[in-house]
Amino acid sequence: MHPEVQKMREIVLIYLDRSGGLQKFVHDCKKYNDSKQSYAVYRFIISINPSDIAELDATLGNYILHNPIQAAQIFQSVCFVAIKTLSLIEQLQTEAQISILLKPTHLPPLPSYILNLSAFPFNYTSQRFYESEGIVIAMGTITKYTQGARFLCTGETCPFSEGFRYIRVHLPGATESATVRNDFVCSLCSSPLQEDMKFRVLGDKQIVEMIDAKALNALKGYSNNKSHFRIQTFTVFLRDDLANRMTIGNHYKIIGIPACVQNGSQATVCIEVSSVQQRKPNGPTFISDNFKHLLSLTSSSCWRFTAILANIFASQVVPPGTYNTLKLTILLSLVLTCEKDNEIADYLDLLIVTSDTLIIDRLLNYSICLLPRGIRHPSSSEFFPAVSKDKHGTGSASIQACSALLAKGGICYIGDLSSYKKDKLEFLQSVLESRTTTIFIPGKKYGEEADQQVTLPVQTNFWSYVDVDASSKKHTQRASSLIGQMDLSLISPNLLDVFGLLIYNEFPSCRLSFPLVHHILKKAINPEAMLYRVSQQFRTQDYEEFILFAKNLHVELSSEAENLIQGYYLASRRVRRDAIHGSKLSASALKILISLSKAHTKLSLRKKVLEEDALIAILLLESSLTLKHGKSALCVAPNAVFPFDLSDENSLKQRDIYLMQCHHQLLKFIGAYSPGIHVNTTEE
Ligand SMILES: [Zn+2]
């Protein structure tokens, strides 16, 4: 034996002893021994801390990181000797029966250990550990693979016609046929080998497709004509205990060994994963000094900061001061996104009624790009997960994420709502109601015995618009229309109802404002032009950071805000009622009010939801209800949140006075229609 190998074996034993690995190994052996059953393969998972082992012996550390398959063989023989010396497993006969899986706890934080999925060339031939990360875009059902098998020589007199000489185990990147096949021959007598089927060991296998996070940029709003792109995925194998450790749409960091799988004439690069870790979304970062300065300047009122924020937002697309209500709701929806799992999330879906579809589309496109997960749904594909056949030759089912799941924790912008067929819209409605989607996988079609049903959460805000001109052209005007109500007969009332907010933008195209025309013309001549000073002071990147910061704030409802919301909700349910259908206000309205209030608090960079936040939420919802059902006794102005232009300090003061009057009016409304609710009425 090579002296270096002998030395490494000794160090392996020392490492196992010191790291507690030996204790775990003895425990695992005991389980096999107690079962009294004879297996073809005894499988052990050994956790390796690369820094500890490199400190103990650099050669061995290097060997594990760069030749993991050969290094596992060293562990294999050490473990075999240990089992035999200490009589740990009575049934074990040969060293070939031991299968060792080395799992590094981490890799050295050096560039050479990172496999960048978007970089070329892609080194998949070295068969060593790499760290990589990406987003799960498709996920297969769990199928079986052969972990290990026992073969026997068919030569009757050959000593290898019994015993455990020919044991084959799965190695990273190997296909099923590499482990079990019928053309193996005996090395002693050259007779064909035959598998002893009763010893076959099966494990779980799941095939996952991932993409580099940068690939999502292709699904953002940067280009309009995107029919010609294809997203390159890479295949990841999750085996045994790792199966089901990933969720579709999530971002993961993995450690694994790249391999090249031959499937007929096609070769696919894949990664055999040895550890999976969900990548935590970036926590609160920081906000630019200009925002901080603005916050301090506006501290005298709870309404001014967000008013200015909305007023100057997206000045790259529309002039400051235009579309303020819409821009405010966009910002509210942006800060109501949450990338974390297991958190009760708030959602705010927006439906914009407009005749300026081009400008609205630009504005929404611009806004989704501010989030890491802002997805513009390509109209040719599906919103929601779909099932297809796995392309790696297994024929099993694979679930494709599609836009809604890729937009997890972000925004899914689906464009013109009226461009979709009725069945798609009905499906959208049911998903918005339940925030889940269920996929049916017929067993027969995908080689399984039983049918399967998979329910997946849909954690994203949906944005869409409807062209009001097309709506009124295609349909004859409704016979009776209430004051303030829009003619939206193109969209079913139930679908309208599931969108949190319905917004009607202020500028119909027939009378485009002068600043807007000026903006469009200037931009057409020079798309890169900075037309306003605020675009430099508050850049797109500043808003990006601001939103990331604001959305991660944890906010709490104050009892005053809660009372106001509750009072309005109950009063509103009472006044918006007809004899036949009962109240037009669904229970989801209460949820939307709370979400909106929280969003306004986050946008104000505060942590406690105040009455002032609740008032903005109520005015926005009441405007939305007015569009759907006509005016109520509360009777809000058409642009309830921004009744006039914000040109200077004085107009901000005026707006504060106006909002205080609204508050007063709201209290009277609650007092009249929801008398049981106690609200603070100490105002003048
Ligand atoms: Zn033989």
Distance of CA 464 to the CA centre of its chain: 20
The two structure tokens encoding residue 683: 């105002």
CB-facing half-sphere around the CA of 558: CA atoms within 13 A? 15
Residue 51 has pLDDT above 90, yes or no: yes
- Once rounded to an integer, what is the mean pLDDT over residues 103-107? 94
The sheet carrying 501-504 orders its strands as: 374-376, 410-416, 460-467, 350-354, 501-504
Spacing, Cα 177 to ligand 1 middle (Å): 21
3-class SS of residue 34: helix
What is the model's pLDDT at position 665? 94
Spacing, Cα 101 to ligand 1 middle (Å): 29
Give φ, ψ of 46 to 5 degrees. -120, 120
Q: How many whole angstroms separate alpha carbon 68 and alpha carbon 257? A: 9
DSSP label at residue 141: P
What is the model's pLDDT at position 229? 65
The two structure tokens encoding residue 586: 């669904």
pLDDT in tens, 28-38: 999 999 998 88
| Of 120 and 43, more confident | 43
> Of 96-110, 381-395, 477-491, 552-566, where does mean pLDDT reach its minimum?
477-491
Identify the burial level of 121 via C-beta atoms within 10 angstroms of its C-beta, where 0-12 means exposed, 13-18 middle and 19 or more buried.
exposed
Spacing, Cα 151 to ligand 1 middle (Å): 11
Q: How many whole angstroms separate alpha carbon 440 and alpha carbon 452? A: 6
| Of 483 and 628, more confident | 628
pLDDT band at 683 (very low <50, low <70, confident <90, very high): very low
pLDDT band at 283 (very low <50, low <70, confident <90, very high): low
CB-facing half-sphere around the CA of 619: CA atoms within 13 A? 27
Spacing, Cα 674 to ligand 1 middle (Å): 91
Max mean pLDDT range (111-125, 213-227, 500-514): 111-125
Residue 475 has pLDDT above 60, yes or no: no
What is the model's pLDDT at position 684? 38
What is the model's pLDDT at position 380? 76
pLDDT in tens, 114-133: 988 777 767 777 889 999 99
The tokens 């798309």 sit on which residue? Answer: 527
Sequence-ordered alpha helix ranges (H) in 263-415: 289-297, 304-312, 324-335, 357-368, 402-406
pLDDT in tens, 413-447: 999 988 888 889 999 999 999 999 999 988 888 88
Amino acid in position 505 = N
What is the model's pLDDT at position 201? 92
Spacing, Cα 82 to ligand 1 middle (Å): 29
What is the model's pLDDT at position 119? 75
The two structure tokens encoding residue 307: 């008013």
- How many other CB atoms sit within 10 Å of the CB of residue 655? 20
| Of 328 and 450, more confident | 328
- Once rounded to an integer, what is the mean pLDDT over residues 447-451? 85
- Once rounded to an integer, what is the mean pLDDT over residues 602-612? 95
DSSP for 624-641, written as a single string: HHHHHH---TT---TTSS
> Of 15-24, 42-51, 673-682, where does mean pLDDT reach its minimum?
673-682
Q: How many whole angstroms separate alpha carbon 613 and alpha carbon 603? A: 10
Spacing, Cα 87 to ligand 1 middle (Å): 29
Residue 681 has pLDDT above 60, yes or no: no
Helix and strand element counts for the chain (H, E): 21, 23
- How many other CB atoms sit within 10 Å of the CB of residue 297? 12
- Once rounded to an integer, what is the mean pLDDT over residues 345-359? 89
Q: What percent of the chain has pLDDT over 70?
A: 91
Spacing, Cα 167 to ligand 1 middle (Å): 14
What is the model's pLDDT at position 507? 52
What is the model's pLDDT at position 18? 93
The two structure tokens encoding residue 24: 């775990």
Spacing, Cα 142 to ligand 1 middle (Å): 37
pLDDT in tens, 509-540: 445 677 777 777 877 788 777 777 778 888 88
pLDDT band at 484 (very low <50, low <70, confident <90, very high): low
Residue 263 has pLDDT above 80, yes or no: no
